[in-house]
Amino acid sequence: MNLFFDTFRTPLGDFSVAVDEAGAVVATAFGARDALGGRAGVCHLMDDKSRVAAAREQVLAYFAGKRTDFDLVLAPQGTPFQQRVWAALRQIPFGETRSYGALAAQLGNPSASRAIGRANATNPICLIVPCHRVIGADGSLTGFAFGEAIKRRLLEHERVPAFCAA
């Protein structure tokens, strides 16, 4: 599969986006091209800033405080369960968090916290599908593919009270 990508600077460092031939976002990553790695599946990545322009503009607007959600076409590759979890993640509003247990209950299976965590960990479209908004039941930062520091900074950017400096 041919994918087109671009890497650009954000306040948290490089950010990469890969889109398919129709322009749907397939994968994102904090870091350069190599960070997309297995997040996009087996593919051939070609540098193409013009095909990624809409995603780049929305991500930069998010970091500039001018956007709180994304209206991009997405095409994440995953199981039906993962797709349900990722769709639920998109329903968590900017500036709010959910625990893994709350997300499991929302999806009708309150005992599936660990399965929710695994699906969250395999989200190929970080930031746009806001897996960073899922935290531990005790309010702790848990699992984020790009590290706890970036997750914390994203929650600070979204002014989540528990993660903002006093």
Rounded Cα distance, 51 and 48, in Å = 6
Q: Residue 42: what pLDDT? A: 60
Question: With a threshold of 0.85, does the pTM exceed it?
Answer: yes
Which sequence positions are flagged as catalytic? Answer: 131
Number of domains into which the chain is organized? 2
Residue 70 belongs to a domain: no
How do residues 135-146 score in pLDDT, each as one tens digit? 988 888 887 778
Do 156 and 107 lie in one domain? The reply is yes
**Single residue among 14, 32, 63 that ends a domain in this structure:** 63
How do residues 43-89 score in pLDDT, each as one tens digit? 788 889 999 999 999 999 999 999 999 999 999 999 999 999 999 99
Burial label for 100, CB within 10 Å (0-12, 13-18, 19+), is buried
Do 120 and 159 lie in one domain? The reply is yes
Rounded Cα distance, 117 and 84, in Å = 13
Q: Which domain holds residue 139?
A: 80-163
Assess whether pLDDT exceeds 60 at residue 165: no
Q: Residue 132: what pLDDT? A: 94
Beta carbons of 38 and 80 less than 8 angstroms apart: no
Residue 69 belongs to a domain: no
How do residues 81-135 score in pLDDT, each as one tens digit? 999 999 999 999 999 999 999 999 999 999 998 999 899 989 999 999 999 999 9
**Residue 14 neighbours by CB under 8 Å, 6+ apart:** 7, 8, 30, 31, 32, 35
What would the two tokens of residue 165 be? 């400096």
Strand (E) positions, the chain?
2-10, 13-19, 25-30, 44-47, 98-99, 134-135
Q: Residue 166: what pLDDT? A: 46
- Residue 117 has phi, psi (to 5 degrees) of -60, -40
Do 96 and 128 lie in one domain? The reply is yes
CATH number at 12 reads 3.30.160
Assess whether pLDDT exceeds 80 at residue 162: no
Residue 23 belongs to a domain: yes
Q: Residue 143: what pLDDT? A: 75
Residue 21 belongs to a domain: yes
